[in-house]
Amino acid sequence: MARPTIGAREEELVLGALRSGRLALGPRLSSFEAAFGVAVGASHVSAVSSGTAGLHLAIRAAGVERGDDVVTSPLSFVASANCLLYEGARPVFCDIDPRTLNITAQSAGDALTERTTGILPVHLFGYPVDMPRLELLSRDCGLWIVEDACEALGAVHADGTPVGARGNLSVFGFYPNKQITTGEGGAVVSPSTELKKRIDSERNQGRAPDMGWLDHDRLGFNYRLDDLSCALGLAQLERLEERLALLGGAGRAGGTRPSMPG
């Protein structure tokens, strides 16, 4: 948890976006997604209007259905549970480890029911969940995983893999108390081009992938991230390593942080 740091670079890029006349669905959206992908070591990034919106889109992409049980943490912001309720699924809370404050594979396994279809772990305060064991449980039981990484930008697992780069749908948040901010905003990291296309469409009212005007071929939402926010995010990403250093290395569980391009 941190206070936002806004300086001359943020003002410069946001002013440039204002003067460009492209305030939404402009070039800064793809630029921000690409820069964020470099930061977390991921190829498929969809910027969205909030971390909550990202969680909602991610669980839909994972295949959640009405009546499903989804195991998650009782110690988190309410959005981790709310996103499941949006789709008529039931959050099933499992116990947390007293040291990490995160769920474990053991506690998640103990909470499984005959209706469980997925697991939504939360990397609380940037401390990574033990994902290798949780992923083994998900494979053995045929469960999907969506990682709530809204507080974990810059965190790495013990094997050096950045949080969000393990091949699961993962969601980050950019509210002003996060490592970087876009004012409001979030991002979904997808493991495939197909899932990114789905999320890109659903964040934009279900518009067709070719962006045909008023061609909406599925249910969607107004979860877009505007170009002003993307401009702010681009400036913030330029100083991500500096920000993480100021936060004193919180969230590191071994390995090194992903580096930003020069």
Distance CA 32, CA 111 (A): 38
User: 119 and 72 in contact (C-beta within 8 Å)?
Assistant: yes
- Using CA atoms, how far residue 39 sits from 33, 93, 95, 223, 234, in Å, is 10, 31, 31, 22, 11
Instruction: Please provide the distance, in angstroms rounded to a whole number, between the alpha carbons at the two ends of the chain.
Output: 26
The pair of structure tokens assigned to 85 is: 């309720």
Contact present, 32 and 233 (Cβ < 8 Å): yes
CA 211 from centroid of its chain's CA atoms: 24
Task: Report d(CA 214, CA 26) in Å as an integer.
Answer: 18
The residues near 118 (Cβ < 8 Å, ≥ 6 apart) are 59, 62, 63, 64, 68, 70, 71, 143, 144, 145, 146
Active site residues: 178
d(CA 80, CA 62) in angstroms, rounded, equals 15
